[in-house]
Amino acid sequence: MIETTEGDRALPPALAEVAGVEFDYDDGEGVDFEPYDAFDSAEETTDWLRHWTGNHELDGDAYRVFGQDGTGGLAALWCVRPGRPLVEQPVVFLGSEGERGVVAANLSDFLWVLADGLGPMEVVEHEEYEARPDPALTELAERHATTPRRTTRDIVTAARSEFPTFSEDIDALCR
């Protein structure tokens, strides 16, 4: 049986605030992101990961799912830094059709990506990041971010440099 640990299943304050934001899809020209007001349970995350990878021996302990795109692709905190708080874990996207990638090295950097008018799916699926600054998300990032504002390109490049084998590691989990 999978146990849910309540201590690390509470949304950090910044994500709780992001959950209150309505993202404008703008007929495919905006941000395709639907934040949750709570993390998915350990059971839901494990079930999804097993079906997504085809590997029914996995558990979802390494992920805290906090949102999705319109097709069901998931945004999550990837708990890969042992002993570090959730806000210091990287943000990843696992798409409904197998797309995946590291979006930001931590929650703070992810807030700056959102402030640039981009969501997790857009970062993973597109090579170019056309910033469309969002004033409300910029203000949210200014209040919660602990890292300096940088371009989405710089944030993504740094995160992917730190975790260069994320996609290959996922491939290794698939059956």
* Beta carbons of 40 and 54 less than 8 angstroms apart: no
Question: Beta-strand (E) ranges in 39-168?
Answer: 63-68, 74-78, 91-94, 100-104
Q: What is the mean pLDDT of residues 58-86?
A: 96
**Which residues, including other chains, have CB under 8 Å from residue 96's CB and lie 6 or more apart?**
69, 71, 72, 73
Q: Is the pLDDT of residue 18 over 60?
A: yes
Question: Beta-strand (E) ranges in the chain?
Answer: 34-35, 63-68, 74-78, 91-94, 100-104
pLDDT tens digits, 110-150? 999 999 999 999 999 998 898 899 999 999 999 999 999 99
Q: What is the mean pLDDT of the chain?
A: 93
Distance (Å, rounded) from C-alpha 126 to C-alpha 147? 24
State the pLDDT at residue 17: 97
State the pLDDT at residue 5: 44
pLDDT tens digits, 76-100? 999 999 999 999 999 999 999 999 9
Q: Kindly report the pTM of this predicted structure.
A: 0.93
**Which residues, including other chains, have CB under 8 Å from residue 71's CB and lie 6 or more apart?**
95, 96, 97
Amino acid at 137: L
Give the up-direction half-sphere exposure of residue 20: CA atoms within 13 A in the CB hemisphere: 8
Per-residue confidence band for 6, with pLDDT thresholds at 50, 70 and 90: very low
Distance (Å, rounded) from C-alpha 172 to C-alpha 4? 25
State the pLDDT at residue 7: 53
State the pLDDT at residue 8: 75
**The dihedral sign for the CA sequence 103, 108, 113, 117:** positive
Q: What is the mean pLDDT of residues 53-77?
A: 95
Q: Which residue has the higher pLDDT, 161 or 173?
A: 161
